[in-house]
Amino acid sequence: MDTSQFSETRAAEMAAGVAKYLWDERALYLPASEPLAANWKTTVQHYFPKVLLDVVRTVILTGGVRIPTSLFQRRGSSPEWGQFSRLRASRFRHLH
C-alpha cells in the first residue's frame, strides 16, 4: 500500500475505523467465548507460552452459524485500501 496517497486526516480516520472494528468484535464475541479446551492446549503447548494459552478463548460456531463479513472488511477490499484487503477476520480479547 502506498501510504503517501493518504492525508494525515484520512490515515487517522482509517486507524479509528480499525480500532472501532476490533472493539466491536471483542464486545460481540467475548461474552460467548470459552477457555481453550484442554486437549487443544496440549496439542499446541510446545509452540506457545503457557501464559498465552491460559488467556486464549474460543468461540465455536455450530448449526451452520457463520461470522458475517463486516463493513470494515468490505471497505478493506476497496482499491483505496490496497494491500489492507488481505486483513482477515481476527478476534482480539485484549486491546490496549
Specify the higher pLDDT residue, 73 or 1. 73
Tens digits of per-residue pLDDT, 13-57?
A: 888 888 888 898 888 888 889 999 999 999 999 999 999 999 999
pTM above 0.75, yes or no: no
Is residue 8 domain-resident? yes
Which residues neighbour 67 within 8 Å (Cβ) at sequence distance 6 or greater?
61, 89
Cell numbers linked to 3: 501510504
Q: Considering the domain boundaries, does residue 39 fall inside one?
A: yes
pLDDT score of 60: 82
Expressed as residue numbers, the domain containing 79 is: 3-86
Whether residue 96 is contained in a domain is answered as no
| Residue 35 maps to a domain | yes
Domain-located, residue 68: yes
